[in-house]
Structure 1
């Protein structure tokens, strides 16, 4: 028997239709209350069209340093996912080096701006 899981994402918008709050639930998570998030990246692969479909949203109160951490961590986990799917360790290493370089450049920029 096939099992199912439903993931729900609720985005509350302000008057300008900008995300104000993001909440999500998953029915097999074991928690009744929705969890809050400041951002999410959601991607789907359309095999027929050979294209990625995505939604990228973040709330108004997400700070620049939080976005940098979010992107860095996402790149690192994407590298791990790619590695599990392909076994191409050299490309995983390249992706992770890029992510570390990205974060290093962000930190340097923040220091230069005095943040």
Structure 2
């Protein structure tokens, strides 16, 4: 069986606020850590039937990029949900909401 490992390194300031978020994967073409400004990790706990989440962002994450990050996360959650369930109708509704979200947050989705 093939195994892959994903490693996250979070560098915190004196108040435990993330200053840097670094990640690397054993499956990656590059063997160096990649810096990111924000991350969301969601896991499903089968035993307790609930989600476990870690949402982190660096203190210098720009608000406009955070809005875009949420928009793109919602979009890709729709993609994942469609692949996992085949529920096209509700995914179309989610896409409609994403368009509404982008408009309200003034996100230019063309770029």
The equivalent of 1:16 in structure 2 is: 15
SS at match of 2:105: helix
Q: Deviations over 1:11-31 (max 9, x none)?
A: 000011100000000001121
Give 5+ residue unaligned stretches, structure 1: 109-115
* Unmatched runs of 5 consecutive residues or more in structure 2: none
* Structure number having the greater helix percentage: 1
Q: 1:21-47: per-residue Cα shift (whole Å, max 9, x none)?
A: 000000011211100000000000001
Aligned to 1:112: none
SS of residue matched to 1:107: coil
Q: Tell me the residue number matched to 1:57.
A: 56
Indicate the RMSD between aligned Cα atoms, in angstroms.
Answer: 1.0
Q: Structure 1 stretches (4+) deviating beyond 4 angstroms?
A: none
Within a 5 Å distance, the mapping from 1:1-115 to structure 2 comes to 2-107=1-106
**What TM-score does the superposition give when structure 1 sets the normalisation length?**
0.90
Shift of 1:97: 1.1
In our comparison, the structure showing a higher alpha carbon Rg is 1
| Count of residues in correspondence between the two structures | 107
